[in-house]
Structure 1
Amino acid sequence: MTIEFHRTGPGPLSPDATEHMVRMRDGVHLATDVYLPAGDVTPGPTVLTRLPYDKTGEYTFMPRVAAWFTARGYRVVVQDVRGKFRSEGETLLFVNEAYDGYDTIEWITHQQWSDGVVGMWGDSYYGYTQWAAASSAHPALRAMVPRVTGTRLGELPVPAPGERTHDVEMSIHRFYPLSMFHDRDILEWELDWTRRPLADAVEEFFQAVGSRSPSYDLWFPHPVKLRRFPAGSPFDAPAVPVLLTIGWWDNCAPWQWSDYRELTQRPAWLQNTFLLLEAIDHENNSHFNPAAPRNSSWMDRYLTPAAEFFDVFLRGNAATIPRVRWQLANSGDTALRSAQIWPPAGVRVTQLHPHPDRTLLLNPASSPTEETWTHDASSPVQSPVRDPFSFLAESPDERDLATHPDVLSFTAAPVTEPLDLAGPITLTATVGSDGPEMDLFARLADVAPDGATHLIARGQQTILDPGRAFEVRIDLGQIGYRLHPGHALRLTLASSDAPEFVPVPGTGEHRWLAATTKPNHQHVLLGGPAGCRLAITVR
């Protein structure tokens, strides 16, 4: 089979920028664009973005972002990270961002247009580069706005020593270094997830391209733990004011919530941490208007919170930034609510219990029973969206999921008055399998009176050697969501969500090396003190 791929190189240089090749401490030069406010020759604060997706490319539209910030008086520096597009050096995920970030900030402070004050901004990988720079503790870094990201972004899930559970492997984990981080360019191609072994298609891709991906080879088949933060954990560095932007439907949100939990355990960081919780997905599509064009009004929504944050912490404006701002999805009201903590004051936790009659009730069934389903990796439960990073752009109706024979579905009675969910959702279950490894996927959805079903929250875990009975706790994330009268909550349990997640082959082999699959029979305990239970946080 011939692997076809499309290569995207660097876009044309912006006429509004001056490009510099900035020298790093090891002699490698990184391509860096500088945008200055029109007619302003005095030194001022700088907004820095370091990204791997092309500093002048259409995907990240950084010249437009720079124009937005420079119109507000900021100097803007945008840099291709090492090994990407116009920058020199080896193309390698994660490992060079700490010291490259430090050296870039140091270079900025010596420019005549800089007043020595730097803030960082950006999404996803260019949110990660902010944390990497923070770990290097450059004193000029005074604020950062990491959006839809995390310090463990893209970290390949492996069990900790002695642990029998870990995160489920996403297809993007190993595919990212085969597309975005294979070499300097972006390589777009389709992997056939029905072929086995999956690794064979990767080798065919390498032959077609004529080169290998160093990042993929470091992670396959046995992952090397990368030194993401050679200067030390960013949480051990001096605290910097940070605005964490998290999307309710961002598939990378678990990493950012993990950071938030870590930050709340560090007093200095806690005092400098602010939350912006939006009804968005990873690509910044809004639940309230998923088809919104990337026009000026969209840019204002996207960038204004960062500018307000920088105005306070880079310029010293006296405005007050609320500690927590959050959107209540499905409320018809796009306004940001304010709170001192998250979850907001006044919430309570309610438990719902799945029953054998496929209902979801406040009280558990009195007699314990087991409900069973079959996982077959050769015919897995299909992922509801083609692009999980743009979940809201597709916003699929998931009603058919409840009809699958390999899915358990439990539906509560329709609510009679608005029910606001505001906080964490967790599932605790005792499960088992006749297979050597088990994935458990839990989805909570809103079922409308006409049957239309849309995702509210989800979570998943891999269980090693589950045996007859293993208690697992699944974090379905955090949500701000209104359930309207006449609508009902539905919980579904399954053992696959492919191809967004790489399915368990059922044989105990490596997911990318298995040539065959074997059906596994799974079960979950309902009722009694150890029965499955869903905890939701409501206002």
Structure 2
Amino acid sequence: MNSIPDQKSYIRAQPQPVPEGAQTIQIAMRDGVELAADLYRADLDIPAATILIRTPYDKGGFPGMGKIARLFVAHGYNVVIQDVRGRFRSGGATEYMIHEPDDGYDTIDWIAKQPWSDGSVGMWGTSYIGFTQIAALSSAHPALKCIAPRLTGSNLGLPVIAPDGSEDVEHVVNRWYFGQCYNDNFLYIGRLPWHQRPWKKMMEGFFETVGQWSADFEKSFERDFPSRAPSLASLIANPIPTLFTVGYYDLCAPAAWQDIEALSAAPAWAGKLFLRLEAVDHEGYNVEQAPFGPEDWYTHNPVALEKFIRRAVDPTIPFYNRHLRGLGEGVPPVQYEIGRTGWKASEAWPPAHTRRVRFYLSGKNDAQGLLGETPPERDFARWRHDGENLVPSIAASAEQPCGPGSTTVLMAWPDLAPLGDRPDVLAFGSKPVAVDLLITGAVTLKGRLASTLESADIFARLLDQAPDGTAHLITRGQVRLKTRPVSETADGGVIQEHATPFTVTVGQTAYKLPAGHRLLLHIFSSDFPEYTANGGGVDPWLIEDVPSGTHILEFGPATGAILDIDVAASPEAVRAAFA
């Protein structure tokens, strides 16, 4: 029997007071529904360009909204911050994504017709607030001159499908978000018994407790649920200057890169797409802060909040000045942060001087394997995927794996080297580098996997291992595969015949590997509780027990596992690094 959280296990976030300097307004949509907004005026006498921010998190309550608005006002912009449909003070149905293109269009249309508007609108925001910009882009209002989506993507919270048909492993935040953030107009935050399964019943227990069911949570189990996201074609068809900010440690980075790759390949977007790549997680915390404590929490510390706001807003001002007012030079095509090192600019990503370095994986189950520069003989590594003893996540806890109050990767920043001692984690190390090596671009793991199960997950973490043996995260990625099961005793021929090709995008990053350090790669098949456990072909939210099985990774010269890394170095420099 699934336990139900008691009445003290959650909070129901209420609308906060209207911030100082804001004028509350109601904006009617095409179907008559009115959405609540706060207007901040730059100048009472002169029409000005407007920054629109559309949020599901309370126009007056999201950390620092009033401060953010006043910062834009100080630079000469009007600001409109709006509760999206069905959230907090706005009317209409509470439905994830569906109304954002039309409501964004109608809001922009209303702004452009006001006497205080000069007819030009830009948009700003992070996560879902960033998604509302992409949705508005898809509806193509001519007054929308530029957007600056941050830590988001067009299919935010939905599966990222790779060209080969595989998809990323579902992060638990996705359906948690539908369940606790899209019930009604308000926001519900509570601890849930994640150790109990099936998770769907766990959420239903929560709904019974709060007396409010989430229609979107129920609909998320329907096959066509992902179709509510704007199509990539609708974005490609409407090129406007777009400053895309991506975090190396952001759980939403795969969705962002999917959009960026599609737009970059479209001729109409040439000169329109600008990238800002930061060493941050989804909450906006930076790797230079890791590990950190309460003094860095911007939700509790006013000084930390001010730093967070300036870090998120200040880089966009030159962009808006250029594309809303025709002032200044704007921003470079690409700005990228090298974690704990500094910033660089380039004309493209990866930078022009980047080259790809290939490592071949080899080794045995009873010892750490190698990231080598030459192909090994054909061989296999096996590991047992134990559904009752899943590989632990870096920071997330079973008590609070996601949402407010959860521990982030950068907050914890643990030594990950010991995880390689587990029998269900394959570890592969390179030689120590003789000189600093700068990674600038993609990290990709490719290979072939066989399994005794009908579905398998592959998680990969690339680590920086210091001379003292400690190792910390550089980047990570994962993929969920459909497999052709083999028996536990299958020989090499059967394994080769049934093995499934895979590609894991381990991430895009800019990172300096110091001299004397080496690359360490961990491969495993679960990441609990941050990611859903593989249900063996069954939706992981519906399973009572996680299936166990054996996974088999192929090594070898032709189809064996390889790790490709983009580095900013000449061939001679690479040879010198690994000499």
- TM class by shorter-chain length? over 0.9
Q: What's the counterpart of residue 217 of structure 2?
A: 216
Is 1:529 the equivalent of 2:545?
no
CA drift of 1:270 comes to 2.6
CA drift of 1:448 comes to 1.2
Give the partner amino acid of 1:483. Answer: L
Superimposed CA distance per residue, residues 108-163 of structure 1 (whole angstroms, 9 cap, x where no aligned partner)? 11222111110000001011100111111111100110001011111146799xx6
CA drift of 1:269 comes to 1.5
Superimposed CA distance per residue, residues 454-500 of structure 1 (whole angstroms, 9 cap, x where no aligned partner)? 11111111111243311111111211000011111101110000111
Q: What's the counterpart of residue 32 of structure 2?
A: 27
Q: What's the counterpart of residue 426 of structure 1?
A: 444
Alignment equivalent of 1:464, drawn from 468, 482, 491? 482
Distance 1:52 1:353, change over 3 A: same
Is 1:435 the equivalent of 2:461?
no
Q: What's the counterpart of residue 532 of structure 2?
A: 502
Q: What's the counterpart of residue 379 of structure 1?
A: 389
For 2:422 and 2:114, locate their aligned partners in 1 and report how far apart those are by CA, in whole Å: 61
Any residues of structure 2 matched to 1:176-195 within 5 Å, and which?
176-195=177-196
Superimposed CA distance per residue, residues 90-116 of structure 1 (whole angstroms, 9 cap, x where no aligned partner)? 111000000100110111112221111
For 2:225 and 2:338, locate their aligned partners in 1 and report how far apart those are by CA, in whole Å: 41
TM-score (norm 1): 0.94
Kindly indicate whether the alpha-carbon contact (under 8 Å) linking 2:336 and 2:510 is maintained by their aligned counterparts in 1. Answer: yes
For 2:544 and 2:270, locate their aligned partners in 1 and report how far apart those are by CA, in whole Å: 48
Distance 1:178 1:297, change over 3 A: closer
Superimposed CA distance per residue, residues 174-197 of structure 1 (whole angstroms, 9 cap, x where no aligned partner)? 111111112211111223232122
TM-score (norm 2): 0.88
- Partner SS for 1:165: coil
Q: What's the counterpart of residue 488 of structure 1?
A: 518
Any residues of structure 2 matched to 1:38-49 within 5 Å, and which?
40-49=44-53
* Structure with higher helix content: 2
Is 1:354 the equivalent of 2:361?
yes
For 2:503 and 2:313, locate their aligned partners in 1 and report how far apart those are by CA, in whole Å: 36
Give the partner amino acid of 1:527. Answer: G
Is 1:307 the equivalent of 2:336?
no
For 2:31 and 2:361, locate their aligned partners in 1 and report how far apart those are by CA, in whole Å: 59
- Partner SS for 2:136: helix
Give the partner amino acid of 1:352. Answer: F
For 1:184 and 1:76, locate their aligned partners in 2 and report how far apart those are by CA, in whole Å: 23
For 1:433 and 1:195, locate their aligned partners in 2 and report how far apart those are by CA, in whole Å: 26
- Partner SS for 1:314: helix
Q: What's the counterpart of residue 167 of structure 1?
A: 168
Kindly indicate whether the alpha-carbon contact (under 8 Å) linking 2:376 and 2:555 is maintained by their aligned counterparts in 1. Answer: no
For 2:359 and 2:159, locate their aligned partners in 1 and report how far apart those are by CA, in whole Å: 32
CA drift of 1:412 comes to 1.3
- Partner SS for 1:179: helix
- Partner SS for 2:325: coil
Alignment equivalent of 2:140, drawn from 120, 133, 137? 137
- Partner SS for 2:228: coil
For 1:404 and 1:24, locate their aligned partners in 2 and report how far apart those are by CA, in whole Å: 56
For 1:151 and 1:316, locate their aligned partners in 2 and report how far apart those are by CA, in whole Å: 28
Which range moved further: 218-227 or 444-453? 218-227
For 2:222 and 2:31, locate their aligned partners in 1 and report how far apart those are by CA, in whole Å: 30
Is 1:268 the equivalent of 2:268?
yes
Q: Which runs of 5+ in 2 are unaligned?
A: 297-302, 486-497, 569-579
Is 1:51 the equivalent of 2:55?
yes
The percentage of aligned residue pairs carrying the same residue is 37
Alignment equivalent of 1:409, drawn from 427, 443, 450? 427
For 2:10 and 2:170, locate their aligned partners in 1 and report how far apart those are by CA, in whole Å: 24
Q: What's the counterpart of residue 351 of structure 2?
A: 344
Q: What's the counterpart of residue 567 of structure 2?
A: 538
Superimposed CA distance per residue, residues 32-64 of structure 1 (whole angstroms, 9 cap, x where no aligned partner)? 000112x5421000000001111111x432101
Kindly indicate whether the alpha-carbon contact (under 8 Å) linking 1:108 and 1:116 is maintained by their aligned counterparts in 2. Answer: yes
Kindly indicate whether the alpha-carbon contact (under 8 Å) linking 1:251 and 1:388 is maintained by their aligned counterparts in 2. Answer: no
Is 1:278 the equivalent of 2:307?
no
Alignment equivalent of 1:446, drawn from 442, 464, 467? 464
Which range moved further: 284-293 or 315-324? 284-293
Distance 1:369 1:6, change over 3 A: same
Superimposed CA distance per residue, residues 208-255 of structure 1 (whole angstroms, 9 cap, x where no aligned partner)? 12221111111126453443339x843243311000111111111111
Is 1:153 the equivalent of 2:182?
no
- Partner SS for 2:188: strand
CA drift of 1:364 comes to 4.0
Kindly indicate whether the alpha-carbon contact (under 8 Å) linking 2:360 and 2:563 is maintained by their aligned counterparts in 1. Answer: yes
Q: What's the counterpart of residue 328 of structure 1?
A: 338
Distance 1:202 1:222, change over 3 A: farther
Q: What's the counterpart of residue 4 of structure 2?
A: 2
For 2:166 and 2:230, locate their aligned partners in 1 and report how far apart those are by CA, in whole Å: 25
Q: Which runs of 5+ in 1 are unaligned?
A: none
What is the number of equivalent residue pairs in this alignment? 530
Superimposed CA distance per residue, residues 376-433 of structure 1 (whole angstroms, 9 cap, x where no aligned partner)? 2221101111267843222232122111111111111211110100011101111110
Give the partner amino acid of 1:69. Answer: F
Is 1:87 the equivalent of 2:123?
no
Q: What's the counterpart of residue 473 of structure 1?
A: 503
- Partner SS for 2:432: coil
For 1:233 and 1:327, locate their aligned partners in 2 and report how far apart those are by CA, in whole Å: 30
Distance 1:362 1:219, change over 3 A: same
Superimposed CA distance per residue, residues 55-87 of structure 1 (whole angstroms, 9 cap, x where no aligned partner)? 111x43210100111111111100010011111
Q: What's the counterpart of residue 67 of structure 1?
A: 70
Which range moved further: 308-317 or 150-159? 150-159
For 1:388 and 1:421, locate their aligned partners in 2 and report how far apart those are by CA, in whole Å: 29
CA drift of 1:294 comes to 2.5
For 1:399 and 1:411, locate their aligned partners in 2 and report how far apart those are by CA, in whole Å: 11
